[in-house]
Amino acid sequence: MVDEGAAVSILKKLLRMETTQNQRRRLQAIAVQILLGIAGLALITFACFQLGFGLARTGFAYVIVISLVSLLGSFSASIVLSIVAAAFLNYFFAAPLHEFRIDIPDDIERIATFLTTSLVVTALVTKVKRSADELRENQAKWVKAERIAHFGWWERDFTTNHVSLSDEVSRIFGVRPVDLPNWHERWLKLIHPEDRARAAEAAAAALVPGGPRYDMEYRLLRPDGTERVVRSQGDVAWNDSGLALRQFGVMQDITELRHAEHELRASETRFRTLVDHASDAFFLYNEDATVLDVNRQACENLGYRRDELIGMTAFDFGPDLTPALLQRIRERLRDGKIVTYDGRHRRKDGTVFPVEVRIRPLWREGQLLAVSLDRDITERKRAEDELRASEERFRTFADYAADAFFLFDDNAAILDVNRQACESLGYSREELIGKHPSDFDVALEEASIERLRERMLGAETVTFETRHKRKDGTSFPVEVRGGQFEQGGRRYLSLARDITERKQAEEALRRSAAYLAEAQRLSHTGTSVYNAGGNLYWSDECYRIWDFDPLQGLPDPDRVWQRIHPDDRDRVREENQRALHEKGEHSVEFRILLYDGAVKYIEATSHPLLSPQGDIDEIVSTHVDVTERRRAQAQAEKLLQLEADLAHMNRLGIMGELTASLAHEILHPIATVRNNARAGMRLLEMSPPDLGEVKGMLGYVVRDADLAKDIVGRIRDHIKKAPPQKEIVDLDEAVDEVIVMVRAAMDRNRVSVRTRLMEHRASVRGDRVQLQQVMLNLILNAMEAMSSVGEGTRELSISTERCQAGGILIAVRDSGPGIEAEHRNRIFEPFYTTKSSGIGMGLSICRSIIDAHGGHLWTDANQPRGAVFRFTLPAVDESLDISSSTCLETLPAAEGRRVPENSNPGLKS
Ligand code: ADP
């Protein structure tokens, strides 16, 4: 950089150089003038000397020479030459000759006159010469100025009607200065047709006294066809009588100016168009933040018109702008700095939007202006918000991922991690960022990391197992997947999965497989999977059940079929076919015949797995070895049969015990029949026979025969071995029949019977014969017990009543010795008897019958003596609801509850 002082000194030097050059040139000119002058003087001296001219004449010649030479310009040279010439006159022409001495006073006078004349003439010549030079120079400058400014003059003389044009004006018109006759007409023709009339009018108007000054702009069409724009103005000189004498004017070619103006206007328009179409809002402010101009975008953004905005201040629509902020902005702008900040603008409707403001300083005529570019960043903010939200979403995804994410840069330093990575390693995110794999990987060496990196650079996704170390020093196995990608540089992403759980899961799976195998073994359940192509899988238990060797691989389907019992094979095949057709689950039971001749019962359940098209892909089948169950079932059936047989035997026993009583019951009607038949016969023998009476007698016979038949029928029912029935049993009727059967035995044992039955008939659902068997057992036991006691009345009471819970309670009371409390439960055990001839099965069978009917049987002490046996039965409408039949409210707390527990284990099992 050149500082001012240095520049000035250089300038001075240059000026000095210029000055010395000019001086030298002037000195040279003076020298040339002097030499020329001396040469001229010498020539004149020689000529005058030869011609014999005297001092006066020679002096005159000298004056002419010196004057001529002085035309060369230098007055100092002329002075020198005048002095030299005076010396020549003295030496060559004044006496004494050839001596610088003057003897004659006239000569002195003459030489002095010569000197004076010479100096005066040369001074005048020099001055005139200089004036002429100056004039010429000025003229040249004027011409130059005219040319430069395209400016010239014109003059019109109204007395001669002559027009003069300066050279430049001629050039502007494109005419030669010589062709100027009839100028006015030619002038008009040179004017552009559109401007011609106006120009002629203005020219004429200027010549009217008091009219407007001639000053106009018009276009010329030059003879060569080019067009120019000129401005011409002129003033008129008037004579005393108000006549125009002359008009002098100047003209300037302003084509370039107008063109430049036009260009400027066009460029201004272009600029405004550009500015108006800019997507940013432009504001031009003065120093006080008053709006000087705005573009269209500014108007659109703020909702004001341009003329409304101009004159407003930035405070009017900038809710964040404060005087202090404005002051700071102003200071920065004064320092020539650009100010940028994110702010807000308020629209005319009051709504506010975010803007990015960028202000530049602009100096105009010493004034600080500010150009502000305000960008509506609503979209950008929205996009930024979107981006932030999407980033957050991504982070949420990443954070909720079950895998740990690690993002590495090219130097294997962690750039980012997810929550899982922090949790698995026990570090915070900040702690992990910047770490190197070797900081938390205990298995990877630097060389392996480098190898992995190279593989990832080859666009490979690497997978490997390693161990990660937690902050607390413990380590755990992980499976890592890693890949490389570009995002603002080379990045590596690795996903680490804690495979402790996987290992545990594998272990759990192994264990559960073992459990399953064990469970299959224990439950004798085998599983197989097969499809049309054959067997796909057989579980160990399946091999065991079918007695195939697992070492020989999956058994051939034909061999499996062969193993099915020949009697069951066709049925199984048929059912299989049907199940395949229906594509449903199905169960089939069959036998298999093993090599050693053993038979196994198999319960097979098959479940088809269907393809999305609905075709059977595979069939999963379970095979349960139910041989044991079958055996147990058979045994249970046998037991049941045994139970039934026992009950039957019990009934037979009762019938045996009641033989006498029953015989009496049958004999009684038979005897009556006989008597009535006899009486009938006698009536027939009468003459005439009383047929009416006979008919009555025969009616009695039929009734009594029916009675006997009924009794026999009932006995047969009790003797008959029939499967248990489920019918509606009228309890009152059943009780009546039982009393009929035991009546004779009672009479014989002097036992009085009392029945107290329910008001409404009581019905239960069950087997009448079995229920009567229970009552008979209880009655016979009671009778026996009472017979064992000598004294006291023997009273038997049978009652039915409704329990509060809904069932029917039947009680059989006696006035016998009763049962000791500690024996009350034992008497229901099979083979428990206190009688020498007893079997001890009666009560056990009774309880089993009542249990089978959904009721309960128990015993208590009767008041004032004896025993009471009670049993409940569900009423007919509730017979299916066993629980509702429990009349526990009537049971004594201590023993009643025990009753259901001791429910005849011998028979039940
Ligand atoms: P068994 O009559 O063959 O002995 P039970 O099972 O009918 O078999 O009776 C078992 C025992 O219960 C009887 O031996 C007897 O001791 C007792 N017992 C049954 N009913 C009564 C009763 N009403 N009074 C007193 N003891 C009874």
Residues 697-723 have pLDDT tens digits of: 999 999 999 989 988 888 888 888 888
Q: Where do we find the tokens 């010429």? A: 136
Q: Where do we find the tokens 């030459």? A: 81
Instruction: Say if ligand 1 is within 6 A of residue 823 CB.
Output: no
Instruction: Say if ligand 1 is within 6 A of residue 850 CB.
Output: no
Contact residues for 726 (Cβ-Cβ < 8 A; gap 6+): 765, 766, 767
pLDDT of residue 427: 93
pLDDT higher than threshold 80 for residue 768 = yes
pLDDT of residue 702: 94
pLDDT higher than threshold 70 for residue 813 = yes
pLDDT higher than threshold 70 for residue 879 = no
Q: Which of 438, 388, 394 is nearest to 416 (CA)?
A: 394
Q: What is the mean pLDDT of the chain?
A: 87
* Rounded-to-integer distance, Cα 561 and Cα 590, Å: 11
Instruction: Say if ligand 1 is within 6 A of residue 81 CB.
Output: no
**Ligand 1 atom with the shortest distance to the CA of 841:** 6
pLDDT of residue 856: 93
Q: Are 430 and 414 in contact (CB under 8 A)?
A: no
Residues 751-760 have pLDDT tens digits of: 999 998 887 7
What's the full length of the chain, in residues? 909
Residues 546-572 have pLDDT tens digits of: 999 999 989 999 999 999 999 999 999
Q: Are 776 and 647 in contact (CB under 8 A)?
A: no
Instruction: Say if ligand 1 is within 6 A of residue 838 CB.
Output: yes
Q: Is 41 helix (H, G, I), strand (E, B) or coil?
A: helix
* Rounded-to-integer distance, Cα 140 and Cα 148, Å: 12
* Rounded-to-integer distance, Cα 637 and Cα 183, Å: 155
pLDDT higher than threshold 60 for residue 4 = no
Instruction: Say if ligand 1 is within 6 A of residue 819 CB.
Output: yes
Residues 591-618 have pLDDT tens digits of: 999 989 899 999 999 999 988 888 888 9
Q: Where do we find the tokens 């599983």? A: 527
Q: Which of 770, 779, 824 is nearest to 798 (CA)?
A: 779
Contact residues for 186 (Cβ-Cβ < 8 A; gap 6+): 175, 179
**Identity of the residue numbered 660:** A
Instruction: Say if ligand 1 is within 6 A of residue 842 CB.
Output: yes
Which residue lies with its CA nearest to atom 23 of ligand 1? 782
Instruction: Say if ligand 1 is within 6 A of residue 647 CB.
Output: no
Contact residues for 836 (Cβ-Cβ < 8 A; gap 6+): none
Which residue lies with its CA nearest to atom 4 of ligand 1? 833
pLDDT of residue 887: 43
**Ligand 1 atom with the shortest distance to the CA of 828:** 6
Which residue lies with its CA nearest to atom 13 of ligand 1? 833
Label residue 1 by pLDDT band (50, 70, 90): very low
Report the separation in Å between the CA atom of 843 and the middle of ligand 1, taken as the mean of its atom positions.
Answer: 7
* Rounded-to-integer distance, Cα 596 and Cα 835, Å: 53
In this structure, is the dihedral angle defined by the CA atoms of residues 443, 447, 451 and 452, taken in order, positive or negative?
Answer: positive
Give φ, ψ of 467 to 5 degrees. Answer: -125, 135
Q: Where do we find the tokens 């932030």? A: 388
* Rounded-to-integer distance, Cα 285 and Cα 291, Å: 5
* Sheet strands side by side (includes 414-417): 414-417, 404-408, 490-498, 475-486, 462-469
Report the separation in Å between the CA atom of 807 and the middle of ligand 1, taken as the mean of its atom positions.
Answer: 26
Q: Rounded mean pLDDT of 445-471?
A: 88
* Rounded-to-integer distance, Cα 298 and Cα 291, Å: 11
160: alpha, beta or left? (left if phi > 0; alpha if psi -120 to 50): alpha
Residues 528-546 have pLDDT tens digits of: 999 888 899 999 999 999 9
Report the separation in Å between the CA atom of 806 and the middle of ligand 1, taken as the mean of its atom positions.
Answer: 29
Q: Are 861 and 811 in contact (CB under 8 A)?
A: no
**Ligand 1 atom with the shortest distance to the CA of 835:** 14
Listed in sequence order, the DSSP H helices in 401-490 are: 419-425, 429-432, 446-457
Give the rounded distance of the alpha carbon of 80 from its chain centre.
109
Instruction: Say if ligand 1 is within 6 A of residue 834 CB.
Output: yes
Q: Which of 371, 367, 315, 365 is nearest to 343 (CA)?
A: 315
Q: Beta strand pairing status for 857-861 and 867-873?
A: antiparallel
In this structure, is the dihedral angle defined by the CA atoms of residues 891, 897, 899 and 900, taken in order, positive or negative?
Answer: positive
* Rounded-to-integer distance, Cα 6 and Cα 154, Å: 49
pLDDT higher than threshold 80 for residue 306 = yes
Buried b (16+ CB within 10 A) or exposed e, 774-792: bbbbbbbbbbebbeeeeee
Residues 893-904 have pLDDT tens digits of: 333 333 333 333
pLDDT of residue 871: 95
* Rounded-to-integer distance, Cα 214 and Cα 198, Å: 12
First to last CA, the chain: 125
Give the rounded distance of the alpha carbon of 352 from its chain centre.
29
pLDDT higher than threshold 90 for residue 316 = yes
Q: Which two tokens stand for residue 419?
A: 């929550």
pLDDT of residue 795: 92
**Identity of the residue numbered 315:** F
Q: Which of 860, 835, 862, 851 is nearest to 885 (CA)?
A: 851
Report the separation in Å between the CA atom of 790 and the middle of ligand 1, taken as the mean of its atom positions.
Answer: 18
Report the separation in Å between the CA atom of 802 and the middle of ligand 1, taken as the mean of its atom positions.
Answer: 27
pLDDT of residue 211: 87
Instruction: Say if ligand 1 is within 6 A of residue 835 CB.
Output: yes
pLDDT higher than threshold 60 for residue 3 = no
Which residue lies with its CA nearest to atom 22 of ligand 1? 782
Peptide bond into 566 cis (omega under 30): no
Q: Where are the beta strands (DSSP E) in 320-445?
A: 339-346, 352-364, 367-376, 404-408, 414-417
Instruction: Say if ligand 1 is within 6 A of residue 830 CB.
Output: no
**Ligand 1 atom with the shortest distance to the CA of 777:** 7
Residues 406-428 have pLDDT tens digits of: 999 888 899 889 888 998 899 99
pLDDT of residue 882: 38
Label residue 178 by pLDDT band (50, 70, 90): low
Q: Rounded mean pLDDT of 2-28?
A: 73
Which residue lies with its CA nearest to atom 18 of ligand 1? 781
* Rounded-to-integer distance, Cα 118 and Cα 66, Å: 7
* Rounded-to-integer distance, Cα 776 and Cα 717, Å: 14
* Rounded-to-integer distance, Cα 218 and Cα 195, Å: 6
Report the separation in Å between the CA atom of 827 and the middle of ligand 1, taken as the mean of its atom positions.
Answer: 6
Q: Rounded mean pLDDT of 764-769?
A: 92
Instruction: Say if ligand 1 is within 6 A of residue 526 CB.
Output: no
Q: Is 476 helix (H, G, I), strand (E, B) or coil?
A: strand
Label residue 809 by pLDDT band (50, 70, 90): very high
pLDDT of residue 895: 37
Instruction: Say if ligand 1 is within 6 A of residue 788 CB.
Output: no
Contact residues for 449 (Cβ-Cβ < 8 A; gap 6+): 412, 437, 438
Test site for ligand 1: of 654, 781, 820, most ligand atoms within 8 A of the Cβ: 781
pLDDT of residue 881: 40
Test site for ligand 1: of 742, 814, 833, most ligand atoms within 8 A of the Cβ: 833
Instruction: Say if ligand 1 is within 6 A of residue 199 CB.
Output: no
Instruction: Say if ligand 1 is within 6 A of residue 572 CB.
Output: no
Instruction: Say if ligand 1 is within 6 A of residue 781 CB.
Output: yes
Residues 573-585 have pLDDT tens digits of: 999 889 888 888 8
Q: Are 876 and 765 in contact (CB under 8 A)?
A: yes
Q: Beta strand pairing status for 339-346 and 291-294?
A: unpaired
Q: Which two tokens stand for residue 300?
A: 């659109």
* Rounded-to-integer distance, Cα 141 and Cα 128, Å: 19
Instruction: Say if ligand 1 is within 6 A of residue 786 CB.
Output: no
Instruction: Say if ligand 1 is within 6 A of residue 833 CB.
Output: yes
Instruction: Say if ligand 1 is within 6 A of residue 840 CB.
Output: yes
Instruction: Say if ligand 1 is within 6 A of residue 169 CB.
Output: no
Report the separation in Å between the CA atom of 784 and the middle of ligand 1, taken as the mean of its atom positions.
Answer: 8
Q: Which two tokens stand for residue 875?
A: 């009423």
When comparing pLDDT for 53 and 17, which is higher? 53
Contact residues for 198 (Cβ-Cβ < 8 A; gap 6+): 216, 218
**pTM check: above 0.85:** no
**Identity of the residue numbered 625:** D
Report the separation in Å between the CA atom of 780 and the middle of ligand 1, taken as the mean of its atom positions.
Answer: 9
Label residue 54 by pLDDT band (50, 70, 90): confident
pLDDT higher than threshold 70 for residue 863 = yes
Contact residues for 211 (Cβ-Cβ < 8 A; gap 6+): 205
Report the separation in Å between the CA atom of 880 and the middle of ligand 1, taken as the mean of its atom positions.
Answer: 31
Residues 652-676 have pLDDT tens digits of: 888 888 888 888 888 888 999 999 9
Which residue lies with its CA nearest to atom 20 of ligand 1? 781
Q: Is 818 helix (H, G, I), strand (E, B) or coil?
A: coil
